[in-house]
A and B are shown apart, each in its own frame.
Chain A
Amino acid sequence: MTAETAPFRPIVPDSQPANDTPSYGSTHLRHPARPALRIPQSITETTGPAFSAAQFPPMADLSVPNGKQAQGERIIVRGRVVDENDRPVPHTMIEIWQANAGGRYDHPGDQHDAPMDPHFHGGGRVFSDADGWYQFTTIKPGAYPWRNHHNAWRPNHIHYSLFGTGFGQRVITQMYFPGDPLLALDPVYLAVPDKAARERLIAAFDIGVTSPEWALGYRFDFVLRGRRATPTEQA
């Protein structure tokens, strides 16, 4: 058994949100009422799709989607993709999407009365390098109202989707910004039971990532579910 097909370790308790989260209204009719069926990990669970930059071209600068500058505060996000064994996950695809600086998505379903930006779409894609590092440039997304409850506002956030090396590593999440007062009021963020696990969804301002005379920098790392055995551990 190689490390690439070894089964995944159990999910750490309270590190993931439950779908039955009453404070988030859209869950009411969408969360299953019955417990999930526990299945053994076979090749279907331990392997997964591979995406090449040739077939899925990177789009690493969301701030200039059509040759013109988007409105807003330009930022750089840089970080590393590792697994729970603290090993880098190289050459893995990261999908990115977000609202514009005014807090509105370039999406027909978003009717928030905030201005559209003709020079911002909000979709991107990057790959980690050989050591798991990734980086992209964008503008800081705005907060927006979302009608979950009276005066509900989503904190500033960027959406991410990662695949890793197996079906069990698939993750879709949101990155938040440090010091955002809306985090304490947000049912989506608060749905993660463990406080430390929640706070790992908050990027860190990083002067080392910040580019002089150009853009503020944030550091944000992803951790994908670890496999049970590594060749080192077996030795």
Chain B
Amino acid sequence: MPVATANQTIGPYWHLIEDPTWADLTRFGAQGETIVLTGTVTDGGGNTVADAAIEIWQSSPPTSDSFPAFGRCRTDAAGAFRFTTLKPNPVAGLGNARQAPHVAISIFARGLLVALTTRLYFQHEPLNETDPVLALIEDAARRDTLIARKTADKSWHLDIRLQGDNETVFMEF
């Protein structure tokens, strides 16, 4: 059987394929609870990561012609990204588990040979207490690296730290 193709870094020039409209997942006319997700990416020296591609994917609401459920945004000179999307609903987990609303995040950048993947959860969401992925993280401070804080009505913010103090919990499966 063939083995999956090796990843290589996205490099600093991936913007050749960038379409800034991809950061708005409602651009095809999606109906629902529109929210804004913002964040920043910093490295182990506390420097902003200004050349990353941030991708989001959500299994809820389901993909449709009006909602791609996928978005991509560059980080700017301040290491910041911003998406407009629909608020996800809880989805099924393994067995009888219910997963709290979440958004999968992939980080591609120069200096990353393989994407880093993580999840964004929403502050004040009661299901966070029983979410099967959050429950895998024993240290509450580590768990908090995945919880976006509410900054305004329908707006959440998550800071992603690639390395060092308060490093984001990255995932594999």
Q: Which residues of A contact B (CB under 8 A)?
A: 8, 11-12, 15-19, 21, 24-34, 36-45, 47-51, 55, 82, 84-86, 95-99, 105-107, 109-110, 121-123, 125, 159, 161, 167-168, 170-174, 188-189, 191-192, 196-198, 200-201, 222-226
Please determine whether B137 and A37 come into contact, CB atoms closer than 8 angstroms: yes
Q: How far is the CA of A190 from the CA of B65 in the complex (A)?
A: 41
Please determine whether B172 and A36 come into contact, CB atoms closer than 8 angstroms: yes
Question: For B47, what are the chain A residues with a Cβ–Cβ distance below 8 Å?
Answer: 29
Q: How far is the CA of A27 from the CA of B162 in the complex (A)?
A: 10
Q: How far is the CA of A76 from the CA of B99 in the complex (A)?
A: 46
Please determine whether B5 and A201 come into contact, CB atoms closer than 8 angstroms: yes
Please determine whether A49 and B4 come into contact, CB atoms closer than 8 angstroms: no
Stretch at the interface among B10-18, B30-38, B122-130: B10-18
Top 8 closest pairs, chain A to chain B, by CB = A26-B111, A49-B70, A30-B111, A17-B113, A97-B16, A36-B172, A174-B8, A29-B43
Please determine whether B116 and A172 come into contact, CB atoms closer than 8 angstroms: no
Contact of B1 among A26, A122, A200, A226 (CB under 8 A): A226
Q: How far is the CA of A131 from the CA of B171 in the complex (A)?
A: 33
Within 8 A of A (CB), among B48-72: 49, 51, 55, 57-59, 63, 65, 68-70
Question: For A43, what are the chain B residues with a Cβ–Cβ distance below 8 Å?
Answer: 59, 91-92
Given contact pairs A42-B92, A47-B59, A171-B5, A29 touches B170 in the complex (Cβ within 8 A): no
Please determine whether A32 and B132 come into contact, CB atoms closer than 8 angstroms: no
Q: How far is the CA of A124 from the CA of B99 in the complex (A)?
A: 37
Question: For B70, what are the chain A residues with a Cβ–Cβ distance below 8 Å?
Answer: 48-49
Question: For B12, what are the chain A residues with a Cβ–Cβ distance below 8 Å?
Answer: 107, 109
Given contact pairs A55-B28, A123-B16, A44 touches B91 in the complex (Cβ within 8 A): yes
Please determine whether B13 and A44 come into contact, CB atoms closer than 8 angstroms: no
Q: Which residues of B contact A (CB under 8 A)?
A: 1-17, 28, 43-45, 47, 49, 51, 55, 57-59, 63, 65, 68-70, 91-94, 99, 102, 104, 106, 108-117, 119, 132-133, 136-137, 162-164, 167-173
Most buried by A among B4, B8, B106: B4
Secondary structure of the B contact surface, majority rule? loop
Contact of A40 among B8, B65, B116, B173 (CB under 8 A): B173
Q: How far is the CA of A171 from the CA of B5 in the complex (A)?
A: 8
Given contact pairs A31-B162, A106-B16, A170 touches B111 in the complex (Cβ within 8 A): no
Please determine whether A48 and B93 come into contact, CB atoms closer than 8 angstroms: no
Chain B residue at minimal CB-CB distance from A106: B16
Please determine whether A159 and B91 come into contact, CB atoms closer than 8 angstroms: no
Please determine whether B4 and A223 come into contact, CB atoms closer than 8 angstroms: yes
